[in-house]
Amino acid sequence: MHSDEFKADAVAAASQPGMSMASVALARGINANLLRRWVREAELPPARVLAKSVPAATTFVPVQLPEPATPTGEIHIEVRRGSMTICVAWPMGAAAECAGWMRELLR
């Protein structure tokens, strides 16, 4: 909105001994807070003035996930009813079916 030359002139005028920022801002038709910001920015070392960051380009990167591991081993169940004992070995990969069988058995 304001040229760099205009800003530099306003900052230089505000930096003169005995000058108030409010009077310099009023004489140039700008807000005193804006002039204070320009003075602050002018006092910063050049390395501290941050440039607006440019967003990095994003790209889609496909990720290959390993296949879920199939459970190995067996489920061992021993059921005793009175004098009768049932021993069952069920594959771990079919645990849901084993649970259904157990529900039916225990009804």
Q: Does the pTM of the predicted model rise above 0.85?
A: no
Spatial distance between the Cα atoms of 40 and 36, rounded to a whole number of angstroms: 6
Q: Is-contact 70 93, C-beta < 8 A?
A: yes
Length of the chain: 107
- Give the per-residue pLDDT at 51: 64
C-alpha 86/C-alpha 84 separation (Å) is 7
Q: Residue 13: pLDDT band by 50, 70, 90 thresholds?
A: very high
pLDDT tens by residue, 56-86: 778 888 999 888 777 678 999 998 889 999 8
103 contacts: CB under 8 Å, gap ≥ 6: none
Joined together, the tokens standing for residue 7 give 């800003």
The domain segmentation of the chain, as residue ranges, is 4-48, 74-105
At 25, is the secondary structure helix, strand, or coil? helix
